[in-house]
Chains A and B, each alone.
Chain A
Amino acid sequence: MSQSTRSVAAIQSDILAIFTKEFRSMLRERRGWMIPVIYVLVLGSVAGLFLITVGEQGSDSQLGQVLAGVVAVVQTLALVTFAPLVGAASIAGERERGTFSVLLSAPVDRLAIGIGKSMVAVLYCMVLLTASLPVAAMSLLFGGPDIGALAGLYFSHAVLGTTMTLIGVAVSTLFRRTWTAAFVAIGTTAALTILTLALGALSLDSNSWDEKGVPFVLYFNPGFFLPLFFDGDGSWIKPGAWFLHYAAMGSMALASLGYALYRLSRARD
């Protein structure tokens, strides 16, 4: 076995060790079950409120559309809020508890620490998404959007969740207090949402979207996919826009992961 093969095998083994530890911790920590419970309660309450309001006036088909719309909006807000929170706890939490120095001085590859922790944070975010599946499935029963549109929504949410979580992990490497990291991470994702939207709106004044397409900055907006979901055919968006949106999200996710790994490679404690 060559030196590089051995080294790759060692990194894989380290990633598995960190992943296993993080997964065990995630399942047993209070936040592990608290966040999904709060999320499902909020989603259920909002969906219930809308159903009661619309149910008195509208048809079944409207009910389905409303339910799917509630899932789309509430889940987007939840991902922009909770996903960075989950990522923010990954490194800062260890520093705060005093466990990080021991881990850093162990013969574990720093790359493995970053990747293992990021994988579990992203996996947790996906668990959060599955928690809303029963509510989303109900929209199909009420004649809401077709299953393809719903699958598209969940794919967009998965991309968004991954990006927001990794932004949280990157921010987490900068701080020693979990709450500081959490505030900064949520602030970062909120700023990303508001700024890209504001800059996009400014472009609207001077350009015609029909001629020039979507302002570039909007591809980076976490809620980019929502108009398509509500607009139905999304005719105002030129072909390829979805690819550009996912590419923008993916580049932010990779940049965040790269930054987190860079910070960890230089971390002393």
Chain B
Amino acid sequence: MIVEVSGLSHQYRAQPVLHQVSFSVPEGRVVGLVGPNAAGKTTLMRALVGQLVPTAGSIRILGRDVRREPKSLREVVGYLPERAEVYPELCVWEYLDLFAAIAGHRGPERRKRIDAALQSAGMTARAEAATRELSKGLRQRLALAAILMHDPAVVVLDEPTDGLDPESRQSLLNEIRRLANEGRTVFLSSHVLAEVEQVAQTTLILVNGQLRANEASETETQPVYGLRVRGDLGSAAATVSAHADVAECTTADGGLIVTLKAGVADAAGPAAALVACGFALVELSEQKDSLRRRFARAVGRTVEELS
């Protein structure tokens, strides 16, 4: 495991922000981090990069203790904070040159690195442009290219797509996917569940500082079925909800969305209960347990309420 977090807790002025967060991540994965506002996402990310000393618990990245070896950690981690800005008075190549120099690249190697970064950010033609003249999307891509100058094995991105137009957003997500394909582990926090679902192989759901879902729970995903019946939808929902196999039943688009309890193989039981109560079953289909649904469950709300 490249990242190991164990029993991580943090408090701000006696207010708990993170509570007993534990997870581990192998290399080459995109890990999505989602949660409502003030769930502790940024705190967790800052703890991961050593910009915050947690009250309790430990974080090890590539075997290095974040608290004890902050300097050595910075050599293997790249961090793009929320609302990060680039130096407005520098031009694009000068900004990259600063980070290439910091990364220890010299002479022709540095020039090569800068050219490669310009190319990957799609900014070769704008190398001489002042960074203040760039769009927000391009500034984000430039900042991302800069934090990769020292080839970090772990990249932590705190809401990098915030405020970007759809095209810039998609371009950044493609870049994140490319980073994972190169073998880097990428942490991505976002409020947009769809984009996390698009790129993340693992999703951590944080609610009130506690981890409500992680990769382990993903493997024990509760099966979800869509049922369409003829008759009163409210009564049908009440019948299904009362069944022993059912964890949750909601109505959506004129049908029922039934989440079964973990370990239940299929929706045969609730379907039979419906038929026994006189409802005509029109359709029964297995549905992917979407991140949206898992997130709704984690925060104790229905998918409709989230909409």
Contacts and interface: CB of A to CB of B under 8 A. Distances in A.
Contact of A25 (B46, B87, B103, B147): B87
A263 to B, nearest CB: 15
Interface string B55-87: 000000000000000010011011111011111
Contacts of A28: 89-90
A10 B104 CA distance: 7
A177 to B, nearest CB: 15
Given A105-B79, A106-B147, A107-B74, A21 B51 contact: no
A99 B89 contact: no
A29 B90 CA distance: 10
B102 interface: yes
Interface hub of B49, B89, B102, B146 (most chain A Cβ within 10 A): B102
Given A13-B101, A102-B80, A268 B87 contact: no
Interface of A: 10, 13-14, 16-17, 20-21, 24-25, 28-29, 97-99, 101-102, 104-109, 268-269
A57 to B, nearest CB: 49
B74 A105 contact: yes
Contacts of B143: 102
A106 B53 CA distance: 17
Contacts of B52: 268
A99 B88 CA distance: 10
Given A102-B81, A105-B51, A21 B87 contact: yes
B84 A20 contact: no
B150 A25 contact: no
Contacts of B103: 106-107
B87 A106 contact: no
Interface residues of B, number: 34
A84 B148 CA distance: 35
A104 to B, nearest CB: 7
Nearest to B99: A106
Given A10-B104, A268-B53, A102 B98 contact: no
B94 interface: yes
B102 A17 contact: yes
A101 B98 contact: no
A102 B86 CA distance: 9
Given A13-B101, A17-B101, A21-B98, A102 B74 contact: no
Nearest to A106: B102
Contacts, number: 81
Smallest CB-CB A-B distances: 4 pairs = A17-B101, A105-B79, A98-B85, A28-B89
B98 A20 contact: yes
Interface of B: 46, 49-53, 71, 74-75, 77-81, 83-90, 94, 98-99, 101-104, 106, 143, 146-147, 150
Contacts of A99: 84-87
Given A106-B74, A106-B102, A101 B51 contact: yes
A25 B90 contact: yes
Contacts of A101: 51, 79, 81, 84
A105 B77 contact: yes
Contacts of A21: 87, 90, 94, 98
The winner among A24, A28, A107, A108 for most chain B CB atoms within 10 A is A107
B150 A107 contact: yes
A102 B102 contact: no
A186 B99 CA distance: 33
Contacts of B88: 97
Given A17-B102, A269-B46, A102 B147 contact: yes
Contact of A106 (B85, B106, B150): B150
B51 A104 contact: yes
Nearest to B53: A268
Contacts of B51: 101, 104-105, 268-269
B111 to A, nearest CB: 15
Contacts of A25: 87, 89-90
B102 A107 contact: yes
A24 B94 contact: yes
A68 B51 CA distance: 51
A25 B78 CA distance: 24
A256 to B, nearest CB: 24
A16 B110 CA distance: 15
B94 A107 contact: no
15 contacts: A14-B101, A16-B101, A20-B98, A25-B90, A28-B89, A28-B90, A97-B85, A97-B88, A99-B87, A102-B84, A106-B150, A107-B74, A107-B75, A107-B102, A108-B102
B102 A24 contact: no
Contacts of B90: 21, 24-25, 28
A104 B73 CA distance: 12
Contacts of A13: 101, 104, 106
Nearest to B98: A21
A16 B105 CA distance: 13
Contact of B89 (A20, A24, A102): A24
